[in-house]
Structure 1
Amino acid sequence: MLLKKNFSVSQVKAAEDGSWKCPNISDNRSLECGCDVPLTLRCSGDVHSLSLIAEGLRRSTSFVSILDCTLKNVTVLNEAKIFEGVSLSGLFISSGEIKRVHRLAFSGLKTPLQILGLPNNALNSVPSNSFQQLTSLDRLDLSNNEIKILSPTDFVSVPKLSYLEISENQISSISQKTFLPLKNLVTLKLNGNKLGNSPGSLKTIAECINLRELDLQSNLIKGPLTSETLPTIKDLEILNLERNSFSSVGAETFKNFPKLTMLSLRHNQIDVLADDAFIGLNSLQKLDLSYNGIVAVSGGSLKHMNRLKMLDFTHNFLRAITTDIINPLPQLSELKLDGNDISIVERNALNSAKNLKNISLRDNPLACDCKLQYFAEWLTSASQFDSKNLMAFCKTPPFLEGAQLSQLSIDSLTCAETHLESENDQIMFQVNSMFSDFNDNFTMINSSSSIMFVDYNFTVNNDLNLNWILHLNKSILFHSLVIFEGSDVRMRMDKSTLNYRSFEKGIEPNDEYFVVSIPSNVPLNLGNNYEFCLIFTEDDNHFYLGCSTTFLLIPNRITTVDLNSRILKSTIQDSDISDFDSIADKQNNPLYMNDDMQGTFTTQKNRKNNEDIFEHDDSIEVYPSREYYNTLWPNVSLSILIICMSISIIYILFTKYRYYYKHHQTESISPSYSEDSINTQIEDENDNTTNKYIKLQATTAL
């Protein structure tokens, strides 16, 4: 459009058909020029280069639309009418050091200048005096300078501006009348300034009544974002508020922006989105809330954006995909959720997402269990959805960590808790059937959280010890043990056929250890899967049931259960001397002490009415560690005795050798010593003899 305004039809045609040639400006070595795109001449030189370029353009037969000059060591444009008689649509001059511009520097151009750029300089104010001859100027670029204040007369001479960029300056104050002449301004870029130091300055932008795009990125604006923070611009379509320090978005903040289509709030400190925060944004199509601190979105936060197509929540702290995010946005087609804490997708959350084509979930700790089955089913059934950008990877359970959700079958998304509940229901049914044979009026309560299986082991008599932790607050009695082999009831053993014991000390104050010993004559098949259930009774009609997990019964094996996760863990118990440390640790644990090691256990507990809660057999040995010590300690004691005797013999030999050496050395000394020295020597020998006698006594005692 600008090209057609300033040049003839033949010139425009030459540019379009490729017959245009880059002009040869000068042979001066200090000046370099070239054309990387048609109709644009780029030159670099020194303080005299502008005159050489202007002279070359005046005599050239090739016309230039845009001239871009990069100069060195130029601090002032002090020459008037530099480009007199030259036809240009756009002019850019940068040196990094220009502080002032002559008021007639851009006068005398053959055609009206449409674009002026003075970026990357050192201007500390808008050179408005230089614009008086540029009444047709359409675009002005003053970015990357040192402008601090915008005064009322800065843009009076350029009322036709449609594009103004004053980004990356130091602007902290704007006069109320600065933008008053700019009724045609469409794009205003004020990013990279300090308008947060004077929040009232933002209101002056409202004078740009035809503004369509406003960039306020990186302006140090702090606090909650409300309707009072921003100017009222009814026709604004693009608003950039990135990289400020907004803490929240208040209700009805954007009620004065009915035509806004793009809004960016990324890289702020927003952690709260108030209900009706986006009311009035009926035309919004893209909302960027990435890199904030948003933990959750309420049902009313995203309302009133019926045309929104792209929502970006990347790098927040969202924990789930919920209906509160999806339901208010019927036209949503792209949802970005990378880098959150999302582990679940709420059931039915995506039922209304008829237009959703892309979801990105990279770097989220997805829990790929039964709760994610709904999401997996939706991914396969939503015909409009494209899973190539999903990038959803499992974090838990451990055996699925790193697996890509889109490649997993729905059947693989299961919950261990679901299996456990189903298994417990089956056990409860079988136990109820068993008890109904002799009692029609009873209640069986599943108390697996209070009656917890810990581990098992075999005694030297091949009895099977089952170790439990009880957390029971009621006065109940041990009733019986039910043994399941596979999924079938193998037998029920009454307490009278079992040995059992309880210990008062537990993990919690109300906990106690409980050990049941199954005699060796009970037919249990090693290598088979078993499940054991304890039954306690409060009275004849109320029973409490707690079961172990199903595990493989193996001799000389200790199988433990994590009391929190109820996951079965096993370790082989070896009888090698390398296990000495682990055995020593068990020596202080009542679960691993027998009567000889502990002394006498007090098995009666003071409860209501001073009745014993449990019956005990004090003759039972809880764990078979006695034999291990019987064979281990004699060998260790003998080894220590041999080492001590060897050290004593070596010490005696060393002492004798030392005495012998000193004695012969004394006899070989010449008898020219004084009487005092001889007496001293005799005293030393007496002392040595005494010391040797004391050492010999100590060695003998050792």
Structure 2
Amino acid sequence: MLALLLLLLLASLVSGRNDTDKTPWRCPEITQPPAVSCSCDLPHTLRCIGDNSALQVIGDVLRGLVPPATVSLLDCTVQNVSVLPDLLLEGVLLHGLVVSSGEIHHVSERAFSGLAGPLQALGLPNNKLQTVPTAALSALPTLDRLDLSHNHLETLTAGSFKGLSNLTFLELSENRLSVLEVNAISSLSKLQTLRLRGNKLSVNAVSALEGMHSLQELDLSDNLLAGPLGATTLPALSALRVLQLAHNQLSSVRRGALTGFTSLVSLTLHHNQIDVLEDNAFSELRTLTQLDLAHNRIVAVSGNSLAHLTRLVQLDLAHNFLRALTADLVVPLRNLQELRLDDNDISMVTSDALNSGTVLRRLTLADNPLNCDCSLAEFAEWLTNSSLLPTSDRTTAVCATPPSLENGLLVEVSPHELLCGQDEEETGPAPPQGPLNPQVPVSGKQVTLRIFQYDGVSVTLLWSVEASAAPYACDALFVYEEEGAHEVLLESNPVRCNSSHLADPRALTLTLPGAGLLLGHRYRYCVVLLEGGGVTSDEMALVLGCSDIIPLIPTAEPQSQPLPEFSLTTHIAALHVNVSSPGTLLIVIQLWEQPLPKAHCLLTVAVFAGSSLVAQQHLNCSHPQTVIKDLPVGPYRVCAATGDFPSTGPRARCITVQQPVTPQGLGGLNIVIATGFVALSSVLLLGLYLATRRLLQRPKLLPTHQCFLAGPQDEEQHSRYVKLHATTKL
């Protein structure tokens, strides 16, 4: 809090006093329970707890002190105080004052008048102030630091800080600020640190910060900043060195972002919704040394995205969706010393990503599905020989595949164990024979991709299945990405379907979410079916089909003729909303498949009044209902979507509540009916799910990331590799 920020100031004051007077300072004895109890944890610092008479008792004692026995900082926590009266500490000499009660909503105009000396720091945190006490603060023209955090401030006007021209530090975090009038803060020409964390500020609101040429530190974390971060999203602040934008709703970083921030050295963007870093995104931030992009949705980083950050020392990309560690990410950052990549989807590290010229002191790769084949040989050697990396970092690289190396530390794997393709098949141990490892034959039945469509959100694949393959069950859909002369397994998605449920078993439509695919990249799609309906028997066989290499570009609209589809992800079947009382919504979401309770299965619910977002919540799929209260007057538009992403995206389901329902009479009945409907639907869906699961149940398909060399790309060769993946579980 403010008291901690005063330590340097107090240290200098105490040092100055000790140079002129060697008399040791003694803590004043102020103990009159229950009225007040005080203690000292630092020289010239007095901390007191008491009731509504505490300030009067403390003032009486402090007035009798003379230097060097005086107190520099007084920190009081009092109870049952809602108003700070006039002449609060008249005649008392202080440099810093902090008063908290949790209830103060008004400060008298003359509350700080009559002090024996100029006050340099004032804190009124953890109270209920709804406006800045401008009149009372005008008596403190020398004030250097002001803390009004954890109050109920909603608006800052042009005169809120009138007369405080010497302020260098302003703490306004955890309020309800949504409006900053022009010159409300920018008039503070000497302000160096501004903290606005935990408010309700939009991009339009922060435009009022324009012209703050002395500002060096700005915290806008946990606000309502949404959309792309571009060149003019924030007003240019040429002296700013530290900028915190975490816990907002920023969606991307555009070319030339934050133009005019010519002195910035630290940028924090973690816990946003960033999925794209455009080329030359940071070209205007050449002084940057620290960049935090953790907890976003970044799938890939091109070489041009970070190319201008030649002074960058620390880069955090943990908790994203990166597929590979490539030279594009590391090579341009010639001064990089710390790189954090934990909890991504990294399966490969290219041979040129890290070399003898790369000097990293920290590199973390925990919770990544590394495919420990021959392509990791150079990285394994670099990791073993990197004496600057601590042992704790080197042991974060853990193999996920092949099965023979699963959970093994990469630094402990010998080079001859890192095998690829035919070498692995020939030198690996022979698979055990017997009833636990049946040899599943590959059927000669044909599966051909007839229609490919991409609408910018999802990929639709229409497969033509040879009629004699029925009955069959869907097993998995593999996606391979073309990378140079190789193809890499990008995704392995289990698919549930049964030909007996299809109107025409010869036509199979599968829908793949496009979130993990990159526009313009080239992919091959392979489907695996189980002939015989998925029931283990001597007659069961694998039916394999692969497409050609297809570039991911938007195609024409889907065929008008409806085709049966099997989505690879849980989706919303229905959305029910009931206005149970004015300003209160009961929201119930009906899912197509009843998922097992998993922490990572999320639903996002948003409520709009007019065009304004008034509420947003995340729900677990195992309990898809909520009650949202204290809403403004409707009508409302309620949107729900699967996943941790904006609930107004293309996968959202929305409903408009035209007018509030009177809470009398039918309100309670509607709740009962809605709850009963959801309970009945859940039971039916759960029953359907368990029946289908028993029919199709089989061991889990282990994710693999096998690379293979390009050669003659005939169908037989691709069937061979798909078979290797498809039979892993058997």
Q: Which residue of 1 aligns with 2:285?
A: 281
Q: Which residue of 2 aligns with 1:319?
A: 323
Q: Which has the larger radius of gyration?
A: 1
Residue 30 of structure 1 pairs with residue 13 of structure 2: no
Q: Which residue of 2 aligns with 1:67?
A: 74
The match for 2:257 among 253, 257, 260 is: 253
CA distance in 2: counterparts of 1:589 and 1:49, whole angstroms: 84
Residue 148 of structure 1 pairs with residue 117 of structure 2: no
CA distance in 2: counterparts of 1:166 and 1:422, whole angstroms: 66
Q: Which residue of 1 aligns with 2:93?
A: 87
Tell me by how many angstroms 1:87 deviates: 1.4
Q: Which residue of 1 aligns with 2:269?
A: 265
Residue 158 of structure 1 pairs with residue 164 of structure 2: yes
Residue 105 of structure 1 pairs with residue 150 of structure 2: no
Higher relative contact order (CA 8 A, sep 6+): 2
What pairs with 1:506-521 in structure 2 (closer than 5 Å)?
none
* Superposed CA offset, 1:574-616 (max 9, x none): xxxxxxxxxx954x6899xxxxxxxxxxxxxxxxxxxxxxxxx
Q: Which residue of 2 aligns with 1:548?
A: none
Q: Which residue of 2 aligns with 1:76?
A: 83
Partner letter of residue 119 of structure 1? P
Tell me by how many angstroms 1:415 deviates: 2.5
Tell me by how many angstroms 1:291 deviates: 0.2
CA distance in 1: counterparts of 2:398 and 2:113, whole angstroms: 64
Partner letter of residue 67 of structure 1? L
**What secondary structure does 1:36 align onto?**
strand
**What secondary structure does 1:395 align onto?**
strand
Tell me by how many angstroms 1:352 deviates: 7.4
Residue 369 of structure 1 pairs with residue 373 of structure 2: yes
Q: Is the 8 A contact 1:153 1:178 kept in 2?
A: yes
What pairs with 1:206-221 in structure 2 (closer than 5 Å)?
206-221=210-225
**What secondary structure does 1:35 align onto?**
strand
Q: Which residue of 1 aligns with 2:185?
A: 179
What pairs with 1:163-562 in structure 2 (closer than 5 Å)?
163-196=169-202, 199-351=203-355, 354-390=358-394, 391-420=396-425
**What secondary structure does 1:33 align onto?**
strand
Tell me by how many angstroms 1:319 deviates: 0.9
**What secondary structure does 1:373 align onto?**
helix
Partner letter of residue 74 of structure 1? V
* Superposed CA offset, 1:478-533 (max 9, x none): xxxxxxxxxxxxxxxxxxxxxxxxxx999799xxxxxxxxxxxxxxxxxxxxxxxx
Q: Is the 8 A contact 2:443 2:541 kept in 1?
A: no
Q: Which residue of 1 aligns with 2:128?
A: 122
Partner letter of residue 53 of structure 1? I
Partner letter of residue 28 of structure 2? P
- Give the 3 Å change call, closer, same or farther, for CA 27–369 of structure 1 in structure 2: same
Tell me by how many angstroms 1:81 deviates: 1.9
**What secondary structure does 1:195 align onto?**
coil
CA distance in 1: counterparts of 2:443 and 2:49, whole angstroms: 87
CA distance in 2: counterparts of 1:585 and 1:300, whole angstroms: 54
**What secondary structure does 2:228 align onto?**
strand
| Higher mean displacement: 367-376 or 210-219 | 367-376
- Give the 3 Å change call, closer, same or farther, for CA 268–585 of structure 1 in structure 2: closer
Q: Is the 8 A contact 1:455 1:468 kept in 2?
A: no
Partner letter of residue 97 of structure 2? L
Tell me by how many angstroms 1:302 deviates: 0.9
Partner letter of residue 46 of structure 1? D
CA distance in 1: counterparts of 2:65 and 2:283, whole angstroms: 59
CA distance in 2: counterparts of 1:10 and 1:122, whole angstroms: 37
CA distance in 1: counterparts of 2:537 and 2:168, whole angstroms: 82
TM-score (norm 2): 0.57
CA distance in 1: counterparts of 2:117 and 2:247, whole angstroms: 41
| Higher mean displacement: 59-68 or 86-95 | 59-68
* Superposed CA offset, 1:210-247 (max 9, x none): 10000000111111111221111011100000000011
- Give the 3 Å change call, closer, same or farther, for CA 472–75 of structure 1 in structure 2: closer
Q: Which residue of 2 aligns with 1:555?
A: none
Tell me by how many angstroms 1:331 deviates: 0.5
* Superposed CA offset, 1:69-107 (max 9, x none): 1111111112x2222221111000000110110111111
Tell me by how many angstroms 1:63 deviates: 1.6
CA distance in 2: counterparts of 1:9 and 1:123, whole angstroms: 36
Tell me by how many angstroms 1:8 deviates: 9.5
Tell me by how many angstroms 1:111 deviates: 1.7
Tell me by how many angstroms 1:467 deviates: 11
CA distance in 2: counterparts of 1:105 and 1:456, whole angstroms: 88
Partner letter of residue 394 of structure 1? C
Q: Which residue of 1 aligns with 2:718?
A: none
Q: Which residue of 2 aligns with 1:48?
A: 53
* Superposed CA offset, 1:430-478 (max 9, x none): xxxxxxxxxxxxxxxxxxxxxxx99999xxxxxxxx99868599xxxxx
- Give the 3 Å change call, closer, same or farther, for CA 467–266 of structure 1 in structure 2: closer
Q: Which residue of 1 aligns with 2:726?
A: none
Matched residues, percent identical? 44
Tell me by how many angstroms 1:125 deviates: 0.5
TM-score (norm 1): 0.59
Tell me by how many angstroms 1:41 deviates: 0.6
* Superposed CA offset, 1:654-695 (max 9, x none): xxxxxxxxxxxxxxxxxxxxxxxxxxxxxxxxxxxxxxxxxx
Tell me by how many angstroms 1:338 deviates: 0.3
Q: Is the 8 A contact 1:26 1:53 kept in 2?
A: no
Tell me by how many angstroms 1:398 deviates: 1.3
Tell me by how many angstroms 1:353 deviates: 5.2
| Higher mean displacement: 39-48 or 374-383 | 374-383
**What secondary structure does 1:59 align onto?**
coil
Q: Is the 8 A contact 2:14 2:44 kept in 1?
A: no
Q: Is the 8 A contact 1:387 1:406 kept in 2?
A: no
CA distance in 2: counterparts of 1:454 and 1:7, whole angstroms: 78
Q: Is the 8 A contact 1:24 1:60 kept in 2?
A: no
**What secondary structure does 2:41 align onto?**
coil
**What secondary structure does 1:372 align onto?**
helix
Aligned residues: 447
* Bigger helix share: 1
CA distance in 1: counterparts of 2:366 and 2:20, whole angstroms: 51
Q: Is the 8 A contact 1:33 1:44 kept in 2?
A: yes
CA distance in 1: counterparts of 2:317 and 2:187, whole angstroms: 39
Tell me by how many angstroms 1:388 deviates: 2.8
* Superposed CA offset, 1:38-67 (max 9, x none): 221111111111111011111246321110
CA distance in 2: counterparts of 1:454 and 1:42, whole angstroms: 73
Q: Is the 8 A contact 1:305 1:329 kept in 2?
A: yes
Q: Is the 8 A contact 1:195 1:201 kept in 2?
A: yes
* Superposed CA offset, 1:289-311 (max 9, x none): 00000011122111211000110
Q: Is the 8 A contact 1:358 1:387 kept in 2?
A: no
Tell me by how many angstroms 1:397 deviates: 1.3
- Give the 3 Å change call, closer, same or farther, for CA 359–18 of structure 1 in structure 2: farther
**What secondary structure does 1:287 align onto?**
strand
Structure 1: 5+ residue runs without aligned partners?
424-452, 458-465, 474-503, 510-563, 566-583, 592-702
Q: CA RMSD in A?
A: 3.4
Structure 2: 5+ residue runs without aligned partners?
1-7, 447-465, 472-525, 528-535, 543-730
- Give the 3 Å change call, closer, same or farther, for CA 590–416 of structure 1 in structure 2: closer
Q: Is the 8 A contact 2:229 2:258 kept in 1?
A: no
Residue 138 of structure 1 pairs with residue 172 of structure 2: no
